[in-house]
Amino acid sequence: MKKAKLIVGLGSCGIAAGAQDIYDYISSKVEGTSVEMGITSCVGLCHAEPIVDVLTAEERITYGNVDRKFADKLLEALQEGELPRENRILDSEEEKKYLEPQVKIVLKNCGVIDPESIDEYIQTGGYEALKKCLTTMKPEEIIEEIKKSGLRGRGGAGFPTAVKWSFLAASPSKIKYLVCNADEGDPGAFMDRAIMEGDPHAVIEGMVIGSYATGADHGYIYCRAEYPLALKRIKKAISEAEERNFLGENILQSGLSFHLDVKEGAGAFVCGEETALIASIEGKRGMPRLRPPFPAQSGIGGYPTNINNVETWVNVPRIILNGASSFNKYSYGKSFGTKIFALAGKIKRGGLIEVPMGLSIRNIVEEIGGGTTTGLPVKAVQIGGPAGGCIPDSLFDTPIDYDSINATGAIMGSGGLVVMDEKTCMVDVAKYFLSFTQKESCGKCTFCRIGTKRMLEILEKITEGKGEEEDMGKLENLAHHVNKTSLCGLGQLAPNPVLTTLKYFRKEYEAHIFEKRCPAGVCKALITMVVIDDKCTGCMLCKKACPVNAISGERKQVHSIDPDICTRCGICVETCKYDAIEVL
């Protein structure tokens, strides 16, 4: 058998698609041969998982949608010498559209190296930026380089990273803390998880550089326990870094000492907020507190603390090693560098992408993402998670940068981008996100705790066909009060999905309230399933599939649906091969 190395993508998305089974299957077949096995993580092409790279002396070929049958074909080809042409995802025109507009700075190692090997990280230039800092740069020079790059916090707020660092560096305290916020809780977002699974040493290197620049001697990576693979790999990376003296006492004989611990969170969305996160690290209930004092003045244990998210930390060694100009040459307005997005929802090519600032929403959704999985026109995107907003297709030429996105009423957030087609009810979407934030409210603020509950009750009332004309005004009034009186970003931004859907999709609210109709055919109380007589063949498939026996009719006769029994589950619509059931 030809000497080669088969590398299987074992990120969470790959494992969920069956990659672990493929790895085990191929391993059992090549035992005792010249073929080696290796692992990597997600390369971003989540829609093509499981992915297997074939690495020979001449080339590295990436194959997607690998099952056992195709694995056998690969092994047979290795025996005969000519690798198959099919399933080569990087050669396909579809995947070129996905990859070519991207600029990978943060994700450059993800899906390329073995995330559980410090040696492979070092081979790609890993820890060279740290060595450069410790041997040729003063702390203030590092902060100045980050300032020149224009790097802004990628956790959502977009605050200038260098300014944040300078606050901590200026503190005279002998005890200072750094925190990596990996408490990624937005529905549809998986950027931080994928980075930690795919390139954990880059997070560590960024934080050690930050410790040298700010004078911090201890750090925490705060990650939700729902990310077991990310936690496993970041813990292994910390252990490896300590063994090689990239972490711990007297790092690389420079006199710098920095210790790093992992704190597992219980999954509270509010702990993404800085002061709530600090409280959780301290072993307290995760609840925000008034600011000032800001964390840079009084954070963990009352000591100065700096918090950045995963993506921000990974940018740091790339900027230091390659210079600020390598980063800020990608710019739009006051936004510099690249931004990672998790493409989710009804998107054809879902996955993880990294694009330069200034690319439009349309470029991302239609060109990179390939439009919807259903083939229906894209109706809107939700950017920024529960605290973000819904942007209609009429604004898809909006460039990706902090100010332009904010102007729509949404926010950049950490990078979740959920795509919706014409069969999506925007009132239902607003209800979903508000339900999420209402449940995740810590309860400290009256308007967040009670105001979001009242808003949710109004949305439920509207989707149940009981809405009244004044409900839209009540929603807007409550939204502004919740925004102005809540203590933290969760409450302040919770009304965004409601306000943006009211702004851009008001006609849908009006249809629900005045016509008692859901235009998208989603809200069960406002729809009716009807059999179209001239399309029904009497095949009886829908009748057999109906879980509540709401469909009657004999074979080869037109069927009918009893609206009093029907639960509007939609199974009959999915089952019918003749499009004979219409949702009204």
Whole-number pLDDT of residue 155? 83
Cβ–Cβ < 8 Å for 550, 575: no
Integer angstrom CA distances of residue 173 from 215, 305, 468: 9, 10, 58
DSSP assignment letter at 526: G
Integer angstrom CA distances of residue 374 from 191, 367, 405, 430: 25, 16, 26, 22
pLDDT score of 1 more than 80: no
Q: Which one of 266, 294, 327 terminates a domain?
A: 327
509 found inside a domain:
yes
Give dist(CA 334, CA 411) in Å, integer.
15
Q: Are strands 52-55 and 60-63 parallel, antiparallel or unpaired?
A: antiparallel
**449 shares a domain with 335:** no
Tokens of 384: 């920024």
**161 shares a domain with 286:** yes
520 found inside a domain:
no
Tokens of 429: 């979407």
Q: Are strands 560-561 and 551-552 parallel, antiparallel or unpaired?
A: antiparallel
Q: Calculate what percentage of the chain has a pLDDT beyond 70.
A: 100
Whole-number pLDDT of residue 385? 85
**556 shares a domain with 440:** no
What phi, psi does 356 have (nearest 5°)?
Answer: -70, 145
User: What value does the mean pLDDT take over residues 12-26?
Assistant: 97
pLDDT score of 579 more than 80: yes
pLDDT digits (tens, 9 = 90+) for 20-47: 999 999 999 999 899 999 999 999 999 9
Give dist(CA 301, CA 295) in Å, integer.
10
Cβ–Cβ < 8 Å for 45, 51: yes
**128 shares a domain with 225:** yes
- What DSSP assignment string belongs to 288-322? ---SSSPTTTS-GGGS-EEEEEHHHHHHHHHHHHH
Give dist(CA 443, CA 369) in Å, integer.
38
**379 shares a domain with 265:** no
**343 shares a domain with 323:** no
SS3 of 334, please?
Answer: coil
What's the pLDDT band for 262 if we cut at 50, 70, 90? very high
523 found inside a domain:
no
What's the pLDDT band for 86 if we cut at 50, 70, 90? very high
Whether this prediction's pTM lies above 0.75 is answered by yes
pLDDT score of 518 more than 90: yes
**Which range marks the domain in which residue 539 is found?**
528-583
Q: Which one of 514, 536, 564 terminates a domain?
A: 514
**416 shares a domain with 433:** no
Q: Are strands 416-421 and 378-383 parallel, antiparallel or unpaired?
A: antiparallel
Q: Which one of 327, 355, 378 terminates a domain?
A: 327
pLDDT digits (tens, 9 = 90+) for 97-154: 999 999 999 999 999 999 999 999 999 999 999 999 999 999 999 999 999 999 999 9
The CATH number linked to 340 is 3.10.20.600
Number of domains the chain contains: 5
106 found inside a domain:
no
Alpha-carbon radius of gyration of the chain: 26
183 found inside a domain:
yes
Give dist(CA 59, CA 424) in Å, integer.
44
Tokens of 519: 């235009």
pLDDT digits (tens, 9 = 90+) for 340-387: 999 999 999 999 999 999 999 999 999 999 999 999 999 999 998 888
Name, in order, each residue with C-beta under 8 angstroms of 314's C-beta and a sequence gap of 6 or more.
106, 195, 199, 202, 203, 206
Cis check: omega of the bond before 495, within 30 degrees of 0: no
113 found inside a domain:
no
SS3 of 61, please?
Answer: strand
What phi, psi does 117 have (nearest 5°)?
Answer: -125, 115
- What DSSP assignment string belongs to 446-464? HIIIIIHHHHHHHHHHHHT
User: HSE-up of 502 (CA within 13 Å, CB side)?
Assistant: 18
Whole-number pLDDT of residue 2? 76
**84 shares a domain with 41:** yes
User: Exposed (0-12), middle (13-18) or buried (19+): which is 513, by Cβ within 10 Å?
Assistant: buried
What's the pLDDT band for 80 if we cut at 50, 70, 90? confident
The CATH number linked to 505 is 1.20.1440.230
Give dist(CA 419, CA 431) in Å, integer.
17
Report the interhelical angle of 228-243 vs 200-214 (nearest 10°): 60
What's the pLDDT band for 575 if we cut at 50, 70, 90? very high
**435 shares a domain with 298:** no
The CATH number linked to 227 is 3.40.50.11540
The CATH number linked to 551 is 3.30.70.20
User: Exposed (0-12), middle (13-18) or buried (19+): which is 254, by Cβ within 10 Å?
Assistant: middle
Tokens of 411: 């926010």
502 found inside a domain:
yes
